[in-house]
Structure 1
Amino acid sequence: MAPATVKTDRPGTSLRCVSWNVHRAKGTDGRVDPARVCEAIRTDLAPWTPDMLALQEADEECRPHGRILDVAGIAADTGLEYQHDSAALRWGPSSDGFLGTIMFLHPRFDVLYRDVVDLPGHCHRGAVVVEAEADGTAFRVMSMHLSLFQPLRVVQMRILGQYLYRRPEMQTILLGDFNEWRPWGGLMFNSRLLGRGFRGPARRSFPSGRPVLPLDRILTDRAGAVREVETVRTPQLRLASDHLPIRGIVHLDAPK
């Protein structure tokens, strides 16, 4: 798979971002196969040399949200650093991430701050937050898996907006499974709800066999800063999960 070409018509640092809901390693053939997910990451995602990788549904669904994947192997295959070495960033001692969300980040970044955010819902949801510095520019990345129910998604995004209000100002990237099927996003992306506007192309990622819904997104609060977003479609990825991964390039230091 040939790496995408990074456009150079915008100054600043470019970040290669990948997000994938791995469906707790249950493939479209009904088989649970964590090794297949890890192999798909190694062969179909790692050659693009991402700067960050966000996985959702990457721990067991029910308590104690036990680990599924070989995160050390994923880190080795991608050259990225697993961000949940602290127990405070995992749901529990049996987990690799926080409610199934796991973040990996390139070691060239200086990590400034890491956190998790509880989100309400019939099914417990959460977000993982990493603030880091790239070439002297601070940025924040938040990975999440939001509710299937639109009113709950609005509440969850409002909580994230309040969280951002209390944090230092820096460019923020949101990525993950938003469970929002409408390309225009609806109320959950309203700038009045979040305190800022988040933008990014909508690409069809679900279901993996014949994608029609743009449930997975890469967004940022700088206009025009998300480029070259695409779903990654290979036979192995289609088989490994009911979602396809999305990837895109986010430019830092873009004007609002």
Structure 2
Amino acid sequence: MRMQTLRPHGLECVTWNVHRGRGQDNRVDPERIVDVLASEVCAHGPEVLALQEADEETPPHAGLLDLKRIEAETGLRSIHSNAALRWGPQSDGFLGAILFLHPDFEITATHVLDLPGHCHRGAVVVDTRKNGKALRILTTHLSLGQMLRAAQMRTIGQFLFRRPEMPTIVLGDLNEWRPWGGLAFSKKLVGLRLSGPVRRTFPATRPLLPLDRILSDQPAAVREARVLDGPGIRVASDHRPLAAQVLLA
């Protein structure tokens, strides 16, 4: 097991759309995803890991990955042991979204959100405490269409408006190709002023579009954002992972 050490002034976060294990060679190989997570994606010891498209696309949205091995290799823990945080009894996450956290996080509340759209989309929300400070972590996979993304982020914003206010990290495949983020990330729509560096993550072979994001509602909190690379990363999925250090208020 890779033992993690919580960084005193920030969190190392990673998000990766694993494309349901289908690689650039068109081969579906979930075991390869776990190999690449262990050897390349999590080699630098992240404390937050968000995966998208990590369950089957259609009901019953069965799990694809060996979560026990991911936990053993990374030292992180899936937050989905509670059945209420999974789509169904055969799922590992909620509509393909799986969140792993360092075991030293104190989890104070968890939620899953159904998001509007003709294709199933969802969000996973976790309220935590770290070093006595409250922190909310939200991961999601938004739709390709701009209007649906706006509707989904509005749904997320309305949910957060009813929750206790705390610093918030949003990470995942947000499917927004425009560097400025468009309507979906605007404060008027979401209620939060989300920001973070823009890095190109798609397609994996030659990234052109910044579809994956790590954002915070704390000004200039997302630092050292970088697209991860490696021989396994380039073939295992159609996205490259995005990593960033997020400073804590």
TM-score, normalised on structure 1?
0.94
Give the Cα–Cα distance (whole angstroms) in 2 for the partners of residues 219 and 118 of structure 1: 21
Q: 1:161 aligns with which of 141, 157, 163?
A: 157
**1:68-217 equivalence runs, <5 A:** 68-217=64-213
Following TM superposition, the consecutive aligned residue runs of length 4 or more in structure 1 with deviations greater than 2 angstroms are: none
Hey, what's the Cα distance between the residues in 2 that align with 1:148 and 1:22? Answer: 17
- The root-mean-square deviation of aligned C-alpha atoms, in Å, is 1.2
* 1:240 partnered with 2:245: no
What secondary structure sits across from 2:62 in the alignment? coil
Q: Does the Cα contact within 8 Å between 1:13 and 1:135 map onto a contact in 2?
A: no
Contact 1:13 1:134 in 2 (8 A): no
Residue 28 (structure 2) aligned to one of 28, 32, 37: 32
Q: Structure 1 unaligned runs (5+)?
A: 1-5
Counterpart in the other structure of 1:23: 19
Q: What is the rounded CA distance, in whole Å, between the counterparts of 2:210 and 2:14 in structure 1?
A: 15
Q: Tell me which amino acid in the other structure corresponds to 1:208.
A: A
Q: Which amino acid aligns with 1:159?
A: T
Whole-Å separation in 1 of the counterparts to 2:105 and 2:98: 17
Q: Figure out how many residues of one structure are paired with residues of the other and give that number.
A: 244
Deviations 1:143-195 (A, max 9, x none): 00000010000000001000110111100000000000001111111101111
- Taking the aligned partners of 2:50 and 2:212, their CA distance within structure 1 comes to 11
The equivalent position to 1:54 in structure 2, one of 42, 50, 54, is: 50
Cα distance, 1:23 vs structure 2: 0.1
Determine the C-alpha separation between the residues in 2 that align with 1:76 and 1:50: 14
Unaligned runs of 5+ in 2: 1-5
Q: Secondary structure at the match of 2:43?
A: helix
Cα deviation, 1:64-90, whole Å, max 9, x if unaligned, reads 001100011101111011100011000
Q: Structure 1 residue 95: deviation in Å?
A: 0.3
How far apart, CA to CA, are the structure 1 residues paired with 2:192 and 2:105? 25
